[in-house]
């Protein structure tokens, strides 16, 4: 019985109650704690009063500030807390770190309630191992499982041979026993018991071994380097993300990292006449690399004075240092610098070059007739096509290229006696016949021809150009581009400062079609249709584009042609913004306002101007509001070459 309960019982049995009507009136509980009321000159005046106060339960003489705390759910000592850890009957609890129900005396605590992670037993001999505690079954594992100070008594188990002494055994070489030593261990996880540098948990290093027994070799090795994998050992790494590798190289040029013969390497500084196309023995000429390649050719920086022909090969030829320092110069060679005329497909790729000074593909013919009764008159015809690249019946991919200074002869007719010499030229930089080529991030500067100063596209071709620029190309017709019966799709394209003596300073479409989305044509010059000229039965669809400061009509549409323009800005043309078609300004999102380019010098060099838009430009956020046309930053489409989802180039 609780001591307090015994005393209370005595009080009930032994005390005489006071007279009726005086019971408990003006009296305390006689525990000397007081209830905070009444007064007396002594600590206890003998009549049940006390001068001390602070009693939290004046009906219980054992609950007072001097009382002992017990684990009974009561504030026995009137300190505002119940069942404190110092309660006189609080049990002792012992930490059980391994959760086996047995604890240790170290860091023991007292508490009325069992704390998390504590138990009532303090007899654990190894509180770091849940397999070791009193009365546990002994196992053959080299430990005292039952805490009786003996190891592996009365049991036997399997030991594994540790031939290399690394502490890990061979799972297939065993013997019975319960004591490690003399090359025998309980662990059977060694992946190579003949090599003490291979065991579970070991540090991985670059040694062509699985040091940590995880079935991977040299992964995340501490002595690896950041780069690209070179599995075939040719000094060129596979494309992909950089990683810490043992066989890493700094470049990612390899198109087949399983074949040391690919890619074929070309270096303008090579001295090897018996080259094998490796990094150590590269070819001198790009054509040699093309002829030897199965998948790809890597071309080092330098100037290559040659003309190349893909010859139908489905390969990628890459100038790894880019067009600024990798140049193919065709001056005086009497041909296009690059030729695709053997049914090449989109698997034939030219990437990362400047292509300059090409003479163009030349096709000559002559027709002789009898004239003046007894004499022979001969008409000679020379047609030049594609100074930089000639494409006939092929669909290659051209990307990251610069075409410059590819100038074909002007058109001419010269009579010499009975003979007549006729010269025509098409596509100073590129001539596309029966082609569906794709051009990405390609620039055309200062190229010239009679028809199509930069590009000529015939009636069997459909050419796609994105993120392209045309500067200061010139022609009789079609200063930048002439589409003659075929189709051209332009997305994020800039044309500036191109010139035509007659028609179409920017783009001339003759019985063909143009689709232009986020295109800028600025400061184009021509006698007629300086910006866009659609002649014959052509069609032109223009969206989210800018035509600014054309010397003559910004958009000229022949009577048999059609024009559909929306969310575009045509402004500042020399005579009319639109001719031959209803001016759509004010409808379908079309405007006519100064586009406010960021920086235009008007110094005659259109390559050093900035055709992005100032923040106050009326063409900012004025393109098609559909989210499909949103700029890369998620805002509404900006008109011009740098708007739209791919306008950041």
**622-631 pLDDT tens trace:** 999 999 999 9
Q: What is the pLDDT of residue 142?
A: 78
Q: Which tokens hold the place of 309?
A: 């022909």
Instruction: Extract the tokens encoding 515.
Output: 């689709």
pTM of the model: 0.72
Percent of the chain predicted with pLDDT > 70: 92
pLDDT at 311: 98
398 part of a folded domain = no
| pLDDT beyond 60 at 2 | no
Q: Is residue 53 situated within a structural domain?
A: no
Q: Are 315 and 264 in contact (CB under 8 A)?
A: no
Q: What is the pLDDT of residue 251?
A: 94
**Confidence check: pLDDT of 11 > 80:** no
Residue 562 pLDDT greater than 50, yes or no: yes
Q: How confident is the model at residue 157 (pLDDT cuts 50, 70, 90)?
A: confident
What region does 125 belong to: left with phi over 0, alpha with psi -120 to 50, or beta?
A: alpha
According to the model, what pLDDT value does residue 15 have? 34
Domain containing residue 268: 261-388
pLDDT for the residue numbered 48: 52
- How many structural domains does the chain have? 1
Comparing 39-43, 493-497, 589-593, the range with the smallest average pLDDT is 39-43
User: Tokens 């799709």 identify what position?
Assistant: 489
- Of 261 and 179, more confident: 261
Q: Give the tens place of pLDDT for each residue, 385-434.
A: 999 999 999 999 999 999 999 999 999 999 998 999 999 999 999 999 99
Least confident of 13-17, 231-235, 492-496: 13-17
Mean pLDDT confidence for 204-211? 94
How many Å from the N-terminal Cα to the C-terminal Cα in the chain? 91
pLDDT at residue number 278: 96
Residue 40 pLDDT greater than 60, yes or no: no
Is there a domain that residue 124 lies in? Answer: no
With a cut of 50, say whether residue 552 has pLDDT above it: yes
Gap between the Cα atoms of 181 and 172, Å rounded: 18
**What would the pLDDT profile of 62-105 be if each residue is shown by its tens digit?**
788 877 888 888 888 888 788 777 788 888 999 999 999 999 99
Assess if residue 280 is contained within a domain.
yes
Q: What is the rounded CA–CA span in Å between residue 408 and residue 405?
A: 9
pLDDT at 16 over 60: no
Q: At 345, is the secondary structure helix, strand, or coil? A: coil
**In contact, 484 and 503? CB cutoff 8 Å:** no
Q: Determine, yes or no, domain membership for 373.
A: yes
Assess if residue 329 is contained within a domain. Answer: yes
In this predicted structure, the answer to whether residue 22 has a pLDDT above a threshold of 60 is no
**pLDDT higher than 60, residue 5:** no
User: For residue 325, is it within any domain?
Assistant: yes
- Which pLDDT score is estimated for 53? 63
Q: Give the tens place of pLDDT for each residue, 510-532.
A: 999 999 999 999 999 999 999 99
% the chain with pLDDT above 90: 76
Least confident of 41-55, 455-469, 560-574: 41-55
Please report whether residue 315 resides in a domain.
yes
- pLDDT band of 45, cuts 50, 70, 90: very low
- Measured CA to CA in angstroms, residue 217 lies from 3, 221, 244, 245, 514 at distances of 75, 9, 13, 10, 56
Residue 301: count of CB within 10 angstroms of its CB: 16
The larger pLDDT score, comparing residue 307 to residue 87, is at 307
- Smallest CA-to-CA distance from 499 within 533, 453, 544 is with 453
């Amino acid at each position: 019985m609780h001591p307090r309960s015994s005393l209370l019982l005595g009080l009930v049995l032994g005390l005489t109650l006071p007279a009726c009507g005086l019971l408990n009136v003006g009296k305390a509980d006689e525990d000397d704690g007081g209830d905070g009321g009444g007064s007396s000159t002594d600590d206890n005046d003998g009549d049940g009063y006390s001068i001390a106060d602070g009693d939290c339960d004046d009906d219980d003489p054992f609950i007072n500030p001097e009382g002992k705390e017990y684990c009974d759910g009561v504030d026995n000592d009137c300190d505002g807390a119940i069942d404190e850890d110092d309660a006189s009957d609080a049990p002792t609890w012992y930490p059980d770190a391994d959760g086996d129900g047995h604890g240790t005396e170290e860091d023991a605590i007292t508490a009325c309630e069992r704390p998390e992670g504590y138990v009532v037993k303090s007899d654990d001999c190894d509180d770091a191992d849940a397999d070791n505690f009193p009365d546990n079954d002994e196992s053959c594992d080299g430990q005292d499982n039952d805490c009786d100070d003996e190891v592996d008594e009365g049991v036997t188990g399997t030991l594994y041979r540790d031939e290399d002494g690394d502490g890990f055994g061979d799972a297939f070489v065993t013997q019975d026993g319960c004591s490690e030593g003399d090359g025998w261990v309980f662990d059977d996880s060694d992946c190579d018991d003949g090599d003490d540098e291979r065991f579970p948990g070991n540090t991985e290093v670059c040694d062509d071994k699985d040091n940590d027994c995880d079935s991977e070799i040299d992964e995340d090795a501490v002595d690896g380097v950041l780069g690209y994998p070179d599995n075939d050992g040719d000094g060129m790494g596979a494309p992909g993300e950089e990683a810490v590798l043992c066989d890493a190289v700094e470049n990612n040029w390899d198109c087949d990292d399983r074949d040391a013969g690919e890619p074929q390497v070309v270096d303008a500084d090579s001295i090897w006449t018996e080259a094998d196309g490796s990094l150590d023995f590269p070819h001198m000429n790009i054509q040699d690399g093309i002829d030897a390649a199965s998948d790809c050719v890597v071309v080092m920086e330098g100037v290559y004075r040659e003309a190349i022909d893909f010859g139908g090969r489905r390969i990628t030829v890459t100038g790894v240092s880019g067009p600024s320092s990798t140049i193919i110069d065709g001056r005086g060679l009497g041909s296009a610098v690059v030729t695709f005329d053997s049914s090449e497909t989109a698997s034939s790729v030219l990437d990362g070059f400047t292509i300059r000074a090409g003479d163009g593909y030349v096709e000559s013919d002559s027709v002789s007739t009898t004239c003046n009764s007894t004499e022979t008159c001969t008409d000679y015809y020379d047609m030049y096509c594609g100074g930089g690249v000639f494409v006939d019946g092929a669909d290659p991919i051209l990307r990251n290229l610069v075409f410059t200074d590819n100038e074909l002869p002007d058109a001419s007719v010269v009579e010499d006696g009975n003979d007549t010499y006729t010269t025509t030229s098409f596509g100073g930089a590129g001539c596309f016949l029966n082609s569906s080529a794709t051009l990405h991030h390609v620039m055309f500067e200062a190229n010239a021809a009679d028809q199509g100063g930069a590009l000529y596209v015939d009636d069997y071709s459909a050419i796609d150009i994105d993120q392209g620029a045309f500067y200061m190309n010139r022609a009789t017709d079609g200063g930048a581009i002439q589409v003659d019966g075929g189709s051209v799709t332009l997305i994020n394209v800039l044309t500036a400062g191109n010139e035509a003596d007659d028609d179409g300073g920017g783009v001339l479409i003759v019985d063909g079609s143009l689709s232009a989305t986020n295109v800028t044509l600025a400061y184009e010059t021509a006698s007629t249709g300086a910006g866009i000229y659609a002649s014959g039965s052509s069609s032109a669809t223009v969206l989210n584009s800018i035509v600014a400061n054309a010397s003559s009509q910004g958009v000229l549409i022949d009577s048999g042609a059609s024009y559909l323009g929306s969310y575009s800005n045509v402004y500042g043309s020399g005579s009319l913004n639109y001719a031959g078609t209803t001016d759509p300004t004010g409808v379908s999102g079309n405007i006519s306002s100064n586009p406010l380019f960021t920086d235009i010098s008007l110094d005659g060099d259109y390559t050093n101007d900035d055709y992005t838009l100032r923040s106050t430009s009326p063409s900012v956020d004025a393109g098609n509001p559909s989210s499909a046309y949103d700029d890369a930053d998620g805002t509404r489409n900006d008109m011009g070459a740098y708007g739209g989802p791919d306008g950041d180039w």
